[in-house]
Amino acid sequence: ERIDRVDLLLALDNSSSMGEEQALLVAQFPRLLRNLTSGDSNDDGVQDFSPAKDVHLGVVSSDMGAGGQTGIDSCDGQGDDGVLQHWPRLPDCPGTFPHFLTYNVGLNAALDVAHDFACIGSLGTQGCGFGQPLEAALKALWPSADSQITFLPANDGNGDRGHGDGENAGFLRNDPLMGRSLIAVLVVSDDDDCSSRNPVHLTPASWLDANNPDDAALLQQGPLTRCARNPANLYATMRYVSGLRELRPERDDLVLFAALVGVPPETVSPSVLAA
């Protein structure tokens, strides 16, 4: 079966350090679209894979708040909550866009799509510093009708539901006549993923008691290292492996995941870190 429809979800970090990375992604997006729709992955003129002819492009931010907690700078409530972002932050963009962009080879211009992506993909840098791109991507795609996976905050005791068949309906395609699409998820971030099942480690510093050993440990860690140093409070990676594969239960080869991220310091030589 030839698959020429791709639903590409970009989970973008919009914390304070991501301005340069967002600008680079916008600058390179025309090449990404060209490679995807030509099948030429390295611009050598040779087709490396079957090209996409019909692309859905959606953007979510890594800002999922702090488990419903309030009082944390840039992290109040549920953040952007895995809802597809279509409100431009740039002054020369229209007021709003569709929930996701569509590119059909031969029907609309790639340059127009690239311009529109610059508008919805420039998320700014005011998002929560406790970025949760994995959780944002899963919530964006997971259907609310399926309670197999739920999300924080669990306001009713049953857990919050996904947006795949609600706010973000139509992005993923599973048409019995037209056939299924390939789902591609790309995470772009420069922080540790902080997708949290127990957000106690996200508690604001002003709420912590230095005389309490657990609170004192959090105060010593600081906000940028709390997530990696408290893995018991994070969701297991398998939640996202299984969840994304379940979106195509009969063809999990139609799910791709990639990440443009940093690397763990222990994998980098001291000379590079010192440079």
Dihedral (Cα; 36, 38, 39, 44), 10-degree rounding: -110
Kindly give the residue spans of alpha helices, DSSP state H, lying in the chain: 19-38, 110-121, 133-141, 213-221, 238-246, 270-274
State how far the Cα of 32 lies from the Cα of 86, in Å rounded to an integer. 20
pLDDT value of position 95: 84
CB 163 within 8 A of CB 140: yes
CB 186 within 8 A of CB 8: yes
- How buried is residue 51: exposed, middle or buried, by Cβ count under 10 Å (0-12/13-18/19+)? middle
Nearest Cα residue to 171 out of 184, 154, 159, 153: 184
Number of separate helices (H) and strands (E) present in the chain? 6, 7
pLDDT value of position 114: 92
State how far the Cα of 13 lies from the Cα of 261, in Å rounded to an integer. 10
CB 181 within 8 A of CB 5: yes
CB 113 within 8 A of CB 49: no
Dihedral (Cα; 57, 62, 67, 72), 10-degree rounding: -140
pLDDT value of position 206: 58
- Find residue 259's DSSP bridge partners: 187
pLDDT value of position 217: 67
State how far the Cα of 42 lies from the Cα of 35, in Å rounded to an integer. 8
CB 62 within 8 A of CB 15: yes
Residue type, 203: T
Task: List, for residues 127-182, the tens digit of each pLDDT value.
Answer: 988 899 999 999 999 999 998 999 987 555 556 899 999 999 999 998 766 678 99
3-state secondary structure of 169: coil
| Token duo for residue 34 | 């060209």
Nearest Cα residue to 178 out of 50, 54, 58: 54
Task: Please name each of the domains of the chain with its CATH number.
Answer: 5-199+236-274 (3.40.50)
The parts of the chain modelled with pLDDT lower than 50 are none
pLDDT value of position 272: 60
